[in-house]
Structure 1
């Protein structure tokens, strides 16, 4: 019984350590219209629109934002999975 509690406490510590590491990792994606940045906890940190908004096509900018955030999230998820596996999760 105590061994299981000890194992759970150790697992909790590992999870907290992993969360702290993931919060510190940043992933960016950009194209000619937009630059985005997320962390490995899948939080959007920044969205930068390149150029003058008045001269840009709204639909293209919206699509670019979506695509770049999704690309950065995929990269973040891959790195998070690698780190979690390395910690024994």
Structure 2
């Protein structure tokens, strides 16, 4: 039983370390319209930039639609990075991964 507690404590320590790494990790997603989203591994948007030349031509509905697509793409990319780090942290053969 003590070994299991020790293993659980070690896994918690690894999870805390991974969370800190994810919080510090950032990635960029830029769509074809020039909307750039910077997001961290904890799926928190850090920055949004819109290409001014496209902004002048687009209407409100197009801007909103493309912003939504860009944010969702950034979140998906961030989730994939987090899942990859989780797989790397877990011992091989760990159930569910």
Structure 2 gaps of 5+ residues are 92-97
Deviation at 1:20?
1.1
In the TM superposition, what is the alpha-carbon distance from 1:24 to its structure 2 partner? Answer: 1.6
Shift of residue 50 of structure 1?
Answer: 2.0
Aligned residues: 89
Tell me how far 1:34 sits from its aligned partner.
1.7
Q: TM-score of the superposition, structure 1-length normalised?
A: 0.86
Q: Post-superposition, which runs of at least 4 consecutive aligned residues in structure 1 deviate over 6 A?
A: none
Give the number of the structure with larger relative contact order, counting CA–CA contacts within 8 Å between residues 6 or more apart: 1
Q: Give yes or no for the alignment of 1:49 onto 2:50.
A: yes
TM (normalized to structure 2)?
0.79
* Aligned-pair Cα RMSD in Å: 1.8
Specify every segment of 5 or more residues in structure 1 that has no aligned partner in the other structure, as ranges: none
Displacement of 1:68 in angstroms is 0.8
